[in-house]
Amino acid sequence: MSAPSDEDLIRRIAGGDRAAMQGLYARHSTAVFRFLVRMVRDPSRAEDLMSDAFFDVWQQAGRFEGRSSVMTWMLTIARFKALSTLRRRPHEALEPEMAEAVEDEADTPEVTLQKASKAEAMRRCLEGLSLEHRTVIDLVYYHELGVEEVAQVLDIPAGTVKTRLFHARKRLSDLLLKAGIDRGWP
């Protein structure tokens, strides 16, 4: 006597046959579990998802249309369960071991203070530039316009924009050095 096919088992499950469900589970639970573990990377969560997926198979067996294999259909159900869990996961708290492993990339209070004082010095030095140089620096660095666009905004030739930008950078560099600030951030 040969074992029933997956399609036969699904038809029987649709009719409420618990033995058919046990047979399908015995045949495919390991493959579904491994698939879920690879997706969620947590065996305990994968086991819960597997139970949910097989419960859906029990409930939806009558809707199986045979457009794919039973295994493909079950893995699709399992995949959607896993994706739903993964979407919710970022909102959950980190486990203590994971939290300790995450590097804190925030600046120290000392670095924050240095950056704040450098930013204030930069503002003061920018105020020391002529209006033409300040305007070119503002348009290029803060509004991220290209030389041609700055030329259109100011109604001057592109060559003039380049010259003003060159002189503005040089003057700003000199003013920053006089203020005791190098160009880099720590």
Considering only the top CATH level, what class is 110-178? Answer: mainly alpha
Task: Judge contact between 45 and 88, C-beta under 8 A.
Answer: no
Tell me how far apart the alpha carbons of residues 121 and 185 are, in angstroms, rounded to a whole number.
13
Q: Where are the domains of the chain?
A: 6-93, 110-178
The fraction of the chain above a pLDDT of 70, given in percent, is 83
User: Looking at domain 6-93, which CATH architecture does it have?
Assistant: Orthogonal Bundle (1.10)
User: Whole-angstrom Cα distance, residue 109 to residue 18?
Assistant: 64
Q: Is residue 51 over pLDDT 80? A: yes
pLDDT at residue 95 tops 90: no
pLDDT digits 0-9 by tens, 62-85: 999 988 889 889 998 998 898 888
Mean pLDDT for the chain?
A: 84
Count of Cβ atoms closer than 10 Å to residue 139 Cβ: 20
pTM of the model: 0.49
Instruction: Pinpoint the alpha helices (H) of the chain.
Output: 6-14, 18-40, 43-60, 70-88, 96-101, 109-127, 131-137, 147-154, 158-178
